[in-house]
Amino acid sequence: MKFARTVGLIGVACVLLAGGRVALNQTNLCLSEGRNVVVREYQVAALRYATAYKMTLAPEVPPSVTEAALEAHINANPDCCVFGKVGFSEYEPPPLEAKLTGQASKIVSLSTGTISGSRQTGYTYVFMNNCGDIYERMK
């Protein structure tokens, strides 16, 4: 009886810890830095990643990759990078393991321009963790 109760309590504790970790991934709290990350920081990180890998974006990102230039680009083109998933073009979600562990808990949709022959806008997606570190599928 005592053994079954102990095992049951350990099981409940494990479930609560796992559920708490998944819930934490849905916040903007970066534990390693001890602060909340604002949405603009995720957008700037995604643009910096896109320019480093020379992704085709519309409107084009300025060649100067300074923080101020990226902020100005976002202010001038608010639809260029949206926090969250929009559109359906070439969307391939990250593996479930990456979502659950928090490696790819955030997504920024970057506009690639209008899809030829339609009125829809295409998007490319950048996944990152709560601290704004980019999740790369090919690691």
Element (H, E) at 109: strand 106-114
Q: For residue 139, what pLDDT is reported?
A: 46
In the chain, where the domains are located: 2-128
pLDDT, one tens digit per residue, over 11-52 is 555 554 555 555 666 678 888 888 889 999 999 999 999 888
pTM over 0.85: no
**CA 57/CA 80 separation, integer angstroms:** 8
Q: Mean pLDDT across the stretch 63-70? A: 83
pLDDT (average), residues 120-138: 86
What is the C-alpha to C-alpha distance for residues 61 and 41, in angstroms, rounded to an integer? 16
Q: Round the average pLDDT of the chain to a whole number and report it.
A: 80
- pLDDT score recorded for residue 15: 55
* Structure token digits, residue 47: 């643009």
Count CB atoms within 10 A of the CB of residue 125: 20
Measured CA to CA, the distance from residue 133 to residue 98 in angstroms comes to 13
What was the pLDDT predicted at 90? 66
